[in-house]
Chain A
Amino acid sequence: MQITKEFRASMNWFHTWLGIALAGILFVIFWMGTLTVFHLEINKWMMPETRTVVEVDGPLDPIVMPTIESMDLQPESSLFISPANERQSLVRLVKFGGGAPFEEYYLHPETGEVVERTDTLGATGFFYPFHYSLHVSWMGLGYWIVGLAAMAMLILVVSGVFIHRKIIQDFFTFRPKKAARRSTLDLHNMTAMIALPFHVLFPLSGILIFALIYFPNAMTTGYGGDRSALIKDTVGFFTPEVVGEPGTLPESLDSFVERAEAIWEDRDGLPARVDGVRISNAGDAGSIVMVQHAFPPRTVAMSQGNIAFSAATGEIVNDFVPRPVHNTSAWLEGAHFIRFDSWAVRWLFFFGGLAGSAMIATGMLFWMRARIRKGMEPVSVRVVRALTIGTTTGIMVSSAVFLLANRALAPDAAALGLTRAYLEVLAFFAVWIAMFIHAGVRDKRAWVDQCWAMAGVCVLAVALNWATTGGHVINTLVEGQWAVTGVDLTLLAAAACAVYAALHLRSVQANDPEMIRARRETSASEVPAE
């Protein structure tokens, strides 16, 4: 099929309309997703108690069983144990269901001692859910907004590809010395092309991850609408029926782990690793212990299956092996969750996320400049510019403020009826709203202001981390605390980029006709009447 001029024109307006309608939401999703790449490392920075550097390959029983045995377990209580690993230095134990409140414990991987962590949501509890649900929980609306944005993103990528006549050339074209509109468009095209595989992979896999939310009836058609049956058949998860008689906890979880690992190693011919252990209906005689298989080395996968054992008799109740089509879906989901062992590729994903964020931001800027050229009303220009600045640099500043607040607040801080964790969240949203207002008041100058603010906040966060924990870049590096070093260095790099951007924008704005006219008008109004 020949791509005609008319077809390209239709893709052009479609791309523009859809892009502008959802640019803000897409930027937020991409930005939060980029931060989430290193959510466990940011957690370590935000919770200094978790900065342990220990061997994590030991047995689970001496670590978790004392805490489990002290719990009041109901017949329908469930437990989930997530072993420590290279990125998560503590063993995580959660208890849920059975009509009791959710309980979460973090256990030292050597002693099993419950670690009292800093009261914070951390990156896992704030940035991560922001990415997939925008923290809008009313009727699951956040998931739907993100899903809509993901579907639109797929269309945007395809339409964007069709728009360009010389798509390969665009990959290598960036003319910073040209007019601002030209160089902005070049940057938009270049960041789109550089990370094109990411821009296709992430929205596609994001929709797959929440497929049961977006297509609940469609997916369960083959099971007569039975969602549990679909889940059991495709991923092997199920909750057994309550027998109604009191049960006792298994004496050893490690015995189940060892049996499962032996089965997987025998089957796959590869070393096996356990991703998690789940005990369903822990207080009931019909309780099961489900051992989940993590991705093997040098593979990408959300999960490689699981084995469920009867807690009472030890016999295998269900041995789930993923099927081919679902394996494809699991591969895509695993890529989205970065479920594979490669720090180089993890960093590549981080820079891919930044490229995606830059692509969206430059798209917004290009559209704004085009509309100004076509004669958009000054008031509208001001509003659009304020929204653009607040959405882009504004959320960056407020994300840095979230980290700064974490180090600045006292461990037992509480105010306005909010716990310490939610005071950090309040700081984020208060600063974000302030950034929008600031952009509305300062107009074009807000770009420079917010770049300086970003630089200042990032440096202050690093300094406060040093002051409150004694950990600075050099000694954390020497101690092998790579996560903390990485976050500090990234904050400093962000500050350096923000300073460069501020200085560059200031020199550009010095020669901007609109800014020169504004300065003349300001000076004229200050000259006293004779």
Chain B
Amino acid sequence: MAIADSMKLPTLGEKTLSAWDRTFRVTLALVGGYLLTAGYISFTSAGLPKLGMNAGEAAFFGLLTGLLIFVGFAVWVAATKFIARMAIASVLAIVLLNYTASLIVATGV
């Protein structure tokens, strides 16, 4: 039971969200989700060919799976109690994915 509880998605509880909070969450879900998906696609487009996959296949694989990630991310943004941490983590993830992709392309690693 304890393990199941800890794995539960943190939610909003009894808190009523202000208009600003909701607007921020919707914006983060759409814009942040888009940037995260784009970063993920860049990462797979750059990284999977290094594992032997055709570059075009890698791009479409990234796109198909990226859209699932986008939806999951948006749902998480809507439901989480810790929106500030979520926003910071999203920015870090976007930067990391894009940076890693460009590093792979630049160095050929």
Contact = CB atoms under 8 A, between A and B. Distances in A.
Task: Say whether A and B bind each other.
Answer: yes
A233 B7 CA distance: 43
A151 B70 contact: yes
Contact of B45 (A13, A152, A222, A324): A222
Contact of A218 (B12, B30, B61, B62): B62
A6 interface: yes
Interface residues of B, number: 45
Interface stretch (A45-53, A132-140, A204-212, A283-291): A204-212
Nearest to B48: A222
A325 B60 contact: yes
B55 to A, nearest CB: 3
A10 B11 contact: yes
A4 interface: yes
A222 B78 contact: no
Contacts of A219: 41, 45, 59, 62-63
B9 interface: yes
A489 interface: no
A14 interface: yes
A155 interface: yes
Contacts of B30: 148, 151-152
Contact of A1 (B7, B49, B105): B7
Contacts of A7: 9, 11, 79
A500 interface: no
B67 interface: yes
Interface string B78-101: 110000000000000000000001
Contact of A234 (B4, B33, B48, B56): B56
B12 A324 contact: no
Interface string A203-234: 01001100100110111111110000010011
B57 to A, nearest CB: 4
Contacts of A21: 26
A11 B75 CA distance: 7
Contacts, number: 127
Interface of chain B, main secondary structure = helix
A9 B79 CA distance: 9
A219 B67 CA distance: 13
Nearest to A218: B41
24 contacts: A1-B9, A2-B4, A7-B79, A9-B12, A10-B12, A10-B78, A10-B79, A11-B79, A13-B17, A13-B22, A14-B29, A151-B33, A215-B41, A218-B41, A218-B62, A219-B63, A220-B45, A221-B105, A222-B45, A223-B55, A230-B55, A234-B56, A325-B61, A326-B56
A40 interface: no
Interface of chain A, main secondary structure = helix
B75 to A, nearest CB: 6
Given A10-B11, A154-B71, A325-B64, A218 B78 contact: no
A381 to B, nearest CB: 20
Contacts of A4: 8, 11
A323 interface: yes
Nearest to A235: B56
A18 B38 CA distance: 21
Nearest to B5: A2
A515 interface: no
A155 B74 contact: yes
Contacts of A18: 26
Interface string B1-39: 000100111011110010000100110011001100111
Contacts of A323: 54, 56-57
Given A222-B59, A325-B64, A6 B41 contact: no
Contacts of A391: none
Nearest to A324: B57
Contacts of A328: 60, 64
Contact of A215 (B13, B37, B56): B37
Given A204-B67, A223-B55, 17 more contacts: A1-B9, A7-B79, A10-B78, A11-B75, A11-B78, A159-B75, A215-B38, A215-B41, A218-B42, A221-B101, A222-B49, A222-B56, A222-B59, A222-B105, A230-B55, A230-B56, A233-B56
Contacts of A317: none
A104 B13 CA distance: 61
B54 A233 contact: yes
B53 to A, nearest CB: 8
A158 interface: yes
A141 B16 CA distance: 35
A326 B57 contact: yes
A154 B8 contact: no
Contact of B55 (A204, A222, A324): A222
A172 interface: no
Contact of B59 (A9, A234, A324): A234
A17 interface: yes
A205 to B, nearest CB: 10
A17 B25 CA distance: 11
Contacts of A324: 57
Given A7-B79, A10-B11, A221-B101, A325 B57 contact: yes
Nearest to B104: A221
A218 B39 contact: yes
B74 to A, nearest CB: 5
A503 to B, nearest CB: 40
Contacts of A151: 30, 33-34, 70
Interface centre among A7, A222, A329 (most CB of B within 10 A): A222
A221 B75 contact: no
Contacts of B34: 151, 214
